[in-house]
Structure formats: C-alpha cells, structure tokens
Amino acid sequence: DAMVIQNPRYQVTQFGKPVTLSCSQTLNHNVMYWYQQKSSQAPKLLFHYYDKDFNNEADTPDNFQSRRPNTSFCFLDIRSPGLGDAAMYLCATQGTDYGYTFGSGTRLTVV
Amino acid sequence: SQQGEEDPQALSIQEGENATMNCSYKTSINNLQWYRQNSGRGLVHLILIRSNEREKHSGRLRVTLDTSKKSSSLLITASRAADTASYFCATSNDYKLSFGAGTTVTVRA
C-alpha cells in the first residue's frame, strides 16, 4: 500500500551526538513536512519541502536541518541534540485533495 | 505556530454516547481538517472541510465549520471504545497545516 514510512520507530541518541531520522513515501506527493510533537502537545511544524524548495519555519532552531535528495525521501538531521529535543518526530506528505498522510513517527530519546 | 485551540481538553464518555469537541482558530483558512492520534502513534486524517463548506459527514463523524466565528466542531456519534484517542483540528493555509492542542477522548465500556 502507498504510505509514508518513518525509520526508525524509536531512536536513542546521546546528548550532543548528531542523529538523522528518515522518511520515505510511495505516494509521489510534492510536499513533505517534518513536525515535532512533545508529550501532550500539538504537533509543531519544523519545515516543509515543495518539491525541492525548502521552507523553514521562523522559530525552528538552527540545530535542525533537512535534506530531500529526491521525491521519495526526506531526512531530518539534528546536529547536536539536547534533552529538550526529545520528542516524537512526524513526517507527512500532502496530496492533491489537501489531506495529509502521516507516518507513524520516530520517538527520539536523548540520554 | 499553533493556530487552533480546542475545547474541551479532555472528554470522558460512555460507550454509545456522542462526543462533541470544538476548535477555534485565528486567521483565514483554505480548509480545516480533523485528525485522530492513538497514544504514541502517528496522526490519522479523518475529514477535511473546505472554507466554503458548512457541514460534512463521514460515517459516524460530523464536522461543521463557521468561518464567521472561526470555529469548527467534530461530533462522533455512537462512540466505541476504539474511538479512545486524541483528536486534533488543523487549519490549512499556503501548504502549512497548523494544529490545535487537541482533545483527549476516553470512551468507557
């Protein structure tokens, strides 16, 4: 089935050690998003791609970077994770009907 | 930034009862969407209502939109234990989806 796949499901990283989260989609959607969701909070948009055009939210920390090498894949790089970066990271794509398809998320723990 | 606010924050109902939750937002929108999130999981798209629509149905779900009041409601009829989840409204404008804080719904058997 066409879907959005996030790997890994759970990621543990050390304080300050760079970490990369990955997302792939088989939907061939132009727009891909990365959201951060902390416990009991709303998902917060970090950035999105429209094709190769990268759009960063004004309040996204510089510590967070993203790459989209092709339509199918998108990566979230956290250069120096802090304890406050522990969260669920959600990848999503947007279809022509404006509905979003979310992956199952990667839960990041920083130790 | 967070656009919507949801009310109530939490809701506990008996199986078979209806659950209603409300969402208010601040700026103009292209459409408003509702999502469900089971604990520790990703978000599941439930229903989308466009800014020129007033009401939409999907199975046991009924969504209303009042753009003059910048508010929306989600009604789940004949609730089931499997409806236990957090429900988020999200507004869409210029390819961005901004979420409210969510309503946690618990359906008691």
pLDDT in tens, chain B (109 residues): 456 688 899 999 999 999 999 999 998 888 999 999 998 888 999 999 999 999 999 999 999 999 999 999 999 999 999 999 999 999 987 778 889 889 999 999 9
Q: For residue B50, with 0-12 CB atoms within 10 Å meaning exposed, 13-18 middle and 19 or more buried, which class applies?
A: middle
Cβ neighbours of A94 in B, within 8 Å = 95, 97
Kind of pairing between the strands at A100-102 and A106-110:
unpaired
Residue B1: the pLDDT is 46
Residue B92: the pLDDT is 85
**Residue A61 scores a pLDDT above 80:** yes
**Residue A2 scores a pLDDT above 70:** no
Q: Cβ separation of A92 and B97 shorter than 8 Å?
A: yes
Q: How far is B19 from chain A (nearest CA, A)?
A: 20
Percent of chain A clearing pLDDT 90 (strictly above):
86
Query: Rounded mean pLDDT of chain A?
Result: 93
Q: How confident is the model at residue A1 (pLDDT cuts 50, 70, 90)?
A: low
Residue B24: the pLDDT is 94
Question: Tokens 């439930």 correspond to what residue?
Answer: B46
Q: Could you tell me which chain B residue has the CA closest to the CA of A39?
A: B40
Q: In this predicted model, what pLDDT tens digit does every residue of A4-45 receive, in sequence order?
A: 999 999 999 999 999 999 999 999 999 999 999 998 889 999
Q: How far apart are CA A89 and CA A5, in angstroms?
A: 12
